[in-house]
Amino acid sequence: MAREFSTVGVVGLGTMGAGIVEVFARNGIDVVAVEISAPALERGRATLKGSTDRAVAKGKLAEADRDALHERVHFAVGLDALHSVDLVIEAVPEHLDLKQRIFAELDRVCRPETILATNTSSLSVTEISVATSRPNQVIGIHFFNPAPVMKLVEVVRTVVTAPEVVADVEALCARLGKVDVTINDRAGFIANALLFGYLNHAVAMFESHYATREDIDAAMKLGCGLPMGPLALMDLIGLDTAYEILDTMYRRGGRDRRHAPVPLLKQMVTAGLLGRKSGRGFYTYERPGSPVVVPDETTPLATDAALADGARAIAKVGVVGSGTMATGIIEVFAKAGYEVVSVTRGMEKSAKVCEAVKTSLNKGVVRGKLAEADRDAALGRISWSATLDHLADVDLVVEAVVEELSVKKALFASLDEICKPGVVLATTTSSLPVIDVAMATQRPADVVGLHFFNPAPVMPLVEVVRTIRTSPEATATARAVCAALGKTGVVCGDRSGFIVNALLFPYLNDAVKMLEASYSTADDIDHAMKLGCGYPMGPFELLDVVGLDVSLAIQRELYLELREPGFAPAPLLEHLVTAGYLGRKTRRGFRDHAHR
């Protein structure tokens, strides 16, 4: 029989603590909510009230239930109020000495059988536990932000945590409607160990002006389907908390430089820019604690006029290539009203591409998303050719041929001879340096990258890559074209992986390393990222879909270009590729898909 928890204590009512109080009280458990001072207590009370009022306004909580919830919460200053609770969860700032002091005091104040839990994200639960005389009753209960929403709880057992304490806490998580994964005490546990390298990398991109905050966030939301971009997430977590987590992970996690907090973070924390809780972080909020972003001095002007500033007029577009990407891109341009010249290496290939475009457009008609007349008009705008000479009068060329530098360079040299002056020449490469392609022409200022995502007609994101030679007009033109296609164009520099792949693949690679180290299972890691961070797929699900060979190739490129030791491909990934386990396409990758 699992132990019955009728009253729990929560220490610290900040970003996490206030949410944790709500989780318990919503599930019929009495809570003693403790803070360090009367003003801090009032802040915590106000956070709880704001959150439950919002739930009522959204129809997710009945007024009577809200009132009952509040009745279950007793607020107090100081730890003495916790003398008779069954379990305490500590959620004070991420400092080891502070947490150890609090645990020593809890040990004195609480009954001998009380379980003492920490919500730490990165500190050693073991080190916290030895500040008490009952380390076997100390455990990590790591909630995710926002606690009332995110389903995951990481239960962290140390080498001395009693098995029955683990079992009692697991049963409690189930009662709270949470999904738990139980793991050993390691810096960052599952989710943060995979998340924070990525977040820190995104801050480094922002700090180096590689891309704007809006573009970095839009890229990860639209390119990967994440619920928030990394900088908006940093603001939600709190920059002071994020700094401490990174710092601890750096020191505890083998001094991986990717966890060394980017200098900008420290500066922002010192300046009081802590994210949502202080009303300003990477973004500016309506007021402290508000989730509503308001424009500030770096907010870009979103008007069409601003987007088109300096952009050249584009009416006719050439698309070179006959693969999946070229086919999708032809469809996208034709549907958006552009005249399109498709160039392949032979009329047979053209016929195939034409069939594929027709099939795709017909699907749109069958699904009721496209009128028959619009389909016919789109097809009527496309002309099919097997010679580049037909690109003499286009305004934009999008190249989507095989991913080989020599082939692309030869093609761009030809385009340079054939196309009229002022044409924007774009490559869809996902891994080659755009500048190499640009320098094959006499007009590198007119060359950009237009990195579409697959399937192009569906995915809303395009990365607009500007090289050190790209003119502002060419960039503006590319961005305006993306907008006219109904896509979001994000502008970034010409570095391996651009924004999305550079941020995504090291995270996937880290997940493989975690599996390889036997810290957790593929299922639990996938669960943790989906339920703790709201990702649409777990890393192993995604790797099997993308293809392990493709993922390995991208990771190798990143490693070669940036020489970051942490980017070295996971040996397990290399072995699976060598063994021919490439993911869904070979029916076996991290999982066996043959029988599914």
Ligand X SMILES: NC(=O)c1ccc[n+]([C@@H]2O[C@H](COP(=O)([O-])OP(=O)(O)OC[C@H]3O[C@@H](n4cnc5c(N)ncnc54)[C@H](O)[C@@H]3O)[C@@H](O)[C@H]2O)c1
**Catalytically active residues, by annotation:** 121, 142, 154, 192
In 3D space, the residue among 166, 178, 180 whose CA is nearest the CA of residue 3 turns out to be 166
The nearest distance, CB 38 to ligand X, in angstroms, is: 11
The nearest distance, CB 440 to ligand X, in angstroms, is: 47
Residue 510: what are its φ and ψ, rounded to 5°? -65, -35
Question: Which CB sits closer to ligand X, 92 or 314?
Answer: 92
In 3D space, the residue among 241, 202, 204, 229 whose CA is nearest the CA of residue 14 turns out to be 241
Residues 462 and 359: their CA atoms lie apart, in Å, by 23
Place of tokens 């993911």: 583
The nearest distance, CB 279 to ligand X, in angstroms, is: 14
Mind giving me the DSSP string for 532-547? IH--SS-HHHHHHHH-
Residues 268 and 243: their CA atoms lie apart, in Å, by 10
The nearest distance, CB 143 to ligand X, in angstroms, is: 6
Collect contacts of 373-381 with beta carbons under 8 A, ≥24 apart. 374/335, 378/331, 378/334, 378/335, 379/334, 381/334, 381/337, 381/338, 381/339, 381/340
Question: Which CB sits closer to ligand X, 184 or 471?
Answer: 184
**Could you give the angle at the alpha carbon of 520 between the alpha carbons of 519 and 524, nearest 5°?**
160
Question: Which CB sits closer to ligand X, 14 or 489?
Answer: 14
The nearest distance, CB 489 to ligand X, in angstroms, is: 31
Question: Which CB sits closer to ligand X, 183 or 398?
Answer: 183
Q: Which residues of 230-264 are buried (b: 16+ CB within 10 A; e: fewer)?
A: bbbbbbbbbbbbbbbbbbbbbebbeebebbebbeb
Question: Which CB sits closer to ligand X, 142 or 556?
Answer: 142
Q: What is the DSSP letter of 312?
A: P
* Segment holding 198, helix H or strand E: helix 191-207
Residues 360 and 353: their CA atoms lie apart, in Å, by 11
Question: Which CB sits closer to ligand X, 21 or 490?
Answer: 21
**Could you give the angle at the alpha carbon of 370 between the alpha carbons of 366 and 372, nearest 5°?**
80
In 3D space, the residue among 372, 136, 135, 92 whose CA is nearest the CA of residue 244 turns out to be 92
The nearest distance, CB 16 to ligand X, in angstroms, is: 3
End-to-end CA distance of the chain: 37
The nearest distance, CB 243 to ligand X, in angstroms, is: 11
The nearest distance, CB 39 to ligand X, in angstroms, is: 9
Question: Which CB sits closer to ligand X, 12 or 197?
Answer: 12
**Could you give the angle at the alpha carbon of 91 between the alpha carbons of 90 and 92, nearest 5°?**
105
Question: Which CB sits closer to ligand X, 121 or 509?
Answer: 121
Contact residues toward ligand X (CB under 6 A) are 11-17, 34-36, 40, 91-94, 102, 119-121, 142-143, 145, 237-238, 241, 245, 277
In 3D space, the residue among 238, 262, 193 whose CA is nearest the CA of residue 532 turns out to be 193
- Is residue 243 classed as helix, strand or coil in its secondary structure? helix
Amino acid, res. 314 = I
Query: What region does 238 belong to: left with phi over 0, alpha with psi -120 to 50, or beta?
Result: left
Residues 336 and 316 sit within 8 Å (Cβ to Cβ): no
Nearest residue to ligand X, by Cβ distance, number only: 14
What tokens were used for 40? 């801090």
Entry field: residues in the chain: 596
In 3D space, the residue among 438, 340, 347, 472 whose CA is nearest the CA of residue 397 turns out to be 340
The nearest distance, CB 290 to ligand X, in angstroms, is: 15
Question: Which CB sits closer to ligand X, 233 or 353?
Answer: 233
The nearest distance, CB 293 to ligand X, in angstroms, is: 18
Question: Which CB sits closer to ligand X, 127 or 436?
Answer: 127
* Segment holding 166, helix H or strand E: helix 163-175
